[in-house]
Amino acid sequence: MSRLVRTAAVFAFVSVVAAGALHAQDFSSSQPILLPPQFYVGDRVEMRILVRVGSGVSLTVPKSLPESHWIVFHSITVAPHGADSQEVRIDFTPYHPGTLPFPPIDLGRVVLRDLNIYVQPVLGSKQVGLRPPFQQLLVPNTRLIIGAVVGVILVVPLFWLGFYRIWRKKLSGIVEKVRENRPYRRLMKNLKQLGQNAGELTARDFYIALLSDLRIYLTRKTGVDCAALTTSEIEPLFPPLLLEDSEHATLVEIFRYGDLVKFAGRSASVRQRKRHIDALLLIIAAGQRRSVQRPVDAGDEGGEPPQKRSVRFAGGMRKRRFVPTFHREPTPRTKESRQHVDP
C-alpha cells in the first residue's frame, strides 16, 4: 500500500513539472523594434517586443534589472496589447560599437533569450586621418585697413602736387574772406544781444558797451587802435566801412549821443536805445555788403591796389597802422532792474 502511494506521488510531481515546463515554453515573440533604428555609442535606445502567450498567463517585470558589461539598462515595462499578447519595452544605453548580446530577460513565466543589438561606430569602418592644420586667420578688415593706409600714402602726395597747387590761391582767398568777416559777425552778434538786454542796463552802461563794440570793430577793420580815440578822431576812420552820407551822419550822431550819456549824464529811454541798435544793424550790414561786392584789387583811381592808410590827427600827430590791442571798457554785468529807465 505504501509503495503504491509513493509511486502515485512521484508520478503526480513529474506530471506537474512537465506541464509547467510545457506551459512556460508556450509563447512566441515578434521581431524586436528599436527606436531609433540606428544609434551610436552613448545614445539612449528603446527596444519593443510583442510577446504572445496563452490565455490566463501574465508577464511580470523583473525585480532587478539585468546587468551587462557594455549595456546599461534603465527600465523594463510590460503592457497588455490585444487579447493574447503583451508588449515589453526595454530602455537601455550601449557603450561599445558593434554587435552586443542581451542577457536573458526574465519575465516570470517567459524568459527572453538570444537578443542582440548592433551599435553603429562613430568614425565608420574606414580609418579616418587628421586633417592638415588651417592657415593662420587674419584679423577682420585687415585687408581693408591696409588698402586704406596704402591709398592715403599714395593719394596725399598726388593731392599735394596736383590739386593743392591749383586751388591754393582760391583756398587762401576763402580763408582770408572768413577772417575778414569775423569782426562783422562778432559785432552783429553783440549788437543783437545788447538790444535784447537794453531794458536791463542803465543808459550809461548800455552806451559804454555799445561804443566799445563799435571801437573794437573799427580797430579790426582799419588796423588803428580806436580804444582811446575821441569821436572827432574816429570819424576820419569811417571810409573803410564804405558808408553813404546819411549812414555816415547817423553813425557820428550815435557816437556823439553815447558820449553825452556817458560823460554828461544825459538820459536815454529804452526805445531810443533799441532805435540806435536797429540803425547800427542796418548801417553795418549795408557797408559789409558793399565791401563784399567791391572788386578785391580795385584801387581808388586808375585800378591800382589800395595803399596802407595813415591817419593825421588835429595836433599834427601821424599814426601809422599797428597791431591793435582790442582794449574794451569794462561793462557792468549786474542787472539793476528788469526794465530800467533813467530819470
For residue range 189-244, list pLDDT tens digits in order. Answer: 999 999 898 889 899 999 999 999 999 988 888 888 888 888 888 888 888 888 88
Domain-located, residue 324? no
315 and 188 in a common domain? yes
186 and 98 in a common domain? no
Q: Which domain holds residue 88?
A: 28-119
269 and 186 in a common domain? yes
Q: What is the pLDDT of residue 128?
A: 61
284 and 182 in a common domain? yes
Contacts of residue 214, defined as CB under 8 A and 6 or more positions apart, other chains included, come to 187, 254, 255, 280
Residues paired with 99 in a beta bridge: 118
315 and 192 in a common domain? yes
Domain-located, residue 52? yes
Cell numbers representing residue 278 in the block: 536797429
Q: What are the start-end ranges of the E strands in 95-130?
A: 98-101, 105-106, 111-112, 116-119
- Span 134-153, mean pLDDT? 86
Ranking 36-40, 171-175, 256-260 by mean pLDDT, the lowest is 171-175
Q: Final residue of a domain: which of 119, 150, 166?
A: 119
Q: What is the pLDDT of residue 331?
A: 47
Domain-located, residue 92? yes
- Span 51-79, mean pLDDT? 87
Ranking 14-28, 79-93, 152-166, 246-260 by mean pLDDT, the lowest is 14-28
Q: What is the pLDDT of residue 95?
A: 92
Domain-located, residue 148? no
Q: Final residue of a domain: which of 101, 119, 137?
A: 119
Ranking 162-171, 202-211, 311-320 by mean pLDDT, the lowest is 311-320
Please give the residue that has the higher pLDDT: either 327 or 92: 92
- Span 169-182, mean pLDDT? 77
Instruction: Kindly report whether the global pTM for this prediction surpasses the value 0.85.
Output: no
Q: What is the pLDDT of residue 326?
A: 42
Q: What is the pLDDT of residue 295?
A: 60
185 and 109 in a common domain? no
C-alpha closest to that of 327 among 218, 247, 239, 175: 218
197 and 107 in a common domain? no
Contacts of residue 317, defined as CB under 8 A and 6 or more positions apart, other chains included, come to none
196 and 104 in a common domain? no
Please give the residue that has the higher pLDDT: either 132 or 339: 132
Domain-located, residue 337? no
CA 238 to chain centre: 54
113 and 182 in a common domain? no
Q: Is the pLDDT of residue 293 over 60?
A: yes
Domain-located, residue 1? no
36 and 107 in a common domain? yes
Domain-located, residue 48? yes
C-alpha closest to that of 208 among 164, 257, 243: 257
Domain-located, residue 193? yes
Q: What total number of domains does the chain contain?
A: 2
- Span 261-278, mean pLDDT? 90
112 and 189 in a common domain? no
290 and 186 in a common domain? yes
Q: Final residue of a domain: which of 78, 94, 119?
A: 119
Please give the residue that has the higher pLDDT: either 167 or 22: 167
